[in-house]
């Protein structure tokens, strides 16, 4: 399928978050942002070995190229490196999702941020053979200093802003509930100003004089409903049909997914604690066709390209 020549722009991307990161969200492991609760020898690689290959098949079926945001420390696992090689061979872009995925990255010192991002970019460039130009912050949370660091270490674009009040409210509620239950979440809430920020790409001029292209995660115009894998899976076929008209007319769609979206709770023998994840309450046989139809429709109405492609076009526009 060839994307049309259209003024409507779209990108598709996958955050390859290891299963250990969901334990951090739910307060089940250490909250530290470093690798203290990560051991490559005991790392469960199913996000990579089950989820990512299915996304490669899905994208091949829809005939599109995507961006995969990768946590660099995961590459310590040999199986992960093998799957990454498959991603690169298929023509997809690799972006940085930091070195150890600290949810409090935006609150770290400038030097700690630089260490996290600089190390990740170097590891990912060596492993992929690509220039790593894009970044997505853990938990989507940014700060003025983090934006400066993203640009300083060599990235030309960021794709972390998520101007979505429904998502941000739900996230804040989960963080609050986790505190009440005595299992504080590793996640960090976003200030309300982000909830209603620009939903289309823009250039962010930083105080240092550096600049970044910002490519916000997709929301439906006016409704500000999230255009992400979790919401698409939860809405199912009926929700897909209801949202299709608005999606087809949206001038910017940044469809964000997670590797866990294509993991099957029963078929892949997932640990019981993962039933908390909305995408794990839907069988793979049911969520696969919803995602495929969504991608095929997007490719029919929009020009679909990697985030790096759109950042390059905007940077020279």
Nearest to 94 by CA among 115, 124, 117: 124
Alpha carbon distance 51, 84 (integer Å): 12
Q: Between helices 110-128 and 144-152, what is the axis angle to 10°?
A: 40
The pLDDT of residue 39: 61
* pLDDT given at position 178: 75
Q: From the first residue on, what is the mean pLDDT of each consecutive set of 10 residues in the chain (317 residues)?
A: 72 97 78 47 86 98 98 96 98 98 96 98 98 97 97 98 89 79 79 88 95 96 92 95 93 98 97 92 97 97 98 84
pLDDT at residue 4, as a whole number: 59
**Which pLDDT belongs to residue 234?**
94
What's the predicted TM-score (pTM) here?
0.92
Bridge partners (DSSP) of residue 285 are none
Provide the CB-side half-sphere exposure for 255 (13 A, CA): 30
Residue 81: how many other CB atoms lie within 10 Å: 13
210-241 burial string, b = 16+ CB within 10 Å, else e?
eebbbbbbbbbeeebbbbbbbbbbebeeeebe
Domains belonging to the chain, first-starting first, are: 9-315 (3.20.20.370)
pLDDT of residue 168: 87
């Amino acid at each position: 399928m060839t994307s049309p020549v259209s003024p409507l722009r779209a990108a598709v991307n996958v955050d390859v978050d290891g299963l250990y990161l969901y334990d951090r969200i739910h307060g089940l492991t250490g909250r530290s942002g470093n690798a203290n609760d990560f051991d490559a020898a005991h790392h469960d690689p199913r996000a990579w070995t089950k989820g990512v290959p299915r996304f490669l098949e899905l994208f091949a079926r829809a005939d599109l190229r995507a961006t995969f945001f990768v946590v660099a420390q995961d590459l310590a696992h040999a199986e992960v490196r093998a799957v990454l090689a498959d991603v690169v061979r298929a023509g997809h872009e690799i972006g940085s999702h930091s070195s150890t995925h600290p949810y409090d990255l935006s609150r770290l010192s400038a030097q700690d941020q630089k260490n996290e991002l600089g190390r990740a970019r170097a590891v990912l460039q060596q492993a992929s053979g690509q220039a790593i130009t894009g970044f997505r912050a853990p938990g989507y949370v940014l700060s003025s200093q983090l934006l400066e660091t993203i640009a300083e270490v060599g990235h030309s674009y960021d794709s972390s802003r998520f101007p979505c009040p429904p998502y941000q409210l739900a996230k804040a509620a989960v963080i609050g509930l986790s505190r009440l239950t005595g299992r504080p979440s590793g996640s960090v809430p976003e200030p309300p100003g982000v909830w209603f920020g620009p939903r289309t790409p823009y250039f962010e001029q930083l105080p240092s004089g550096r600049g970044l292209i910002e490519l916000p995660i997709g929301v439906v115009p006016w409704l500000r409903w999230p255009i992400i894998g979790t919401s698409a899976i939860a809405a199912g076929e009926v929700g897909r049909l209801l949202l299709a008209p608005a999606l087809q007319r949206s001038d910017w769609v940044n469809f964000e997914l997670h590797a866990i979206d294509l993991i099957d709770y029963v078929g892949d023998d997932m640990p019981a604690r993962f039933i908390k994840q909305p995408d794990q309450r839907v069988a793979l046989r049911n969520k696969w066709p919803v995602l495929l139809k969504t991608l095929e429709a997007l490719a029919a109405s929009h020009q679909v390209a990697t985030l790096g492609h759109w950042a390059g076009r905007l940077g020279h526009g």
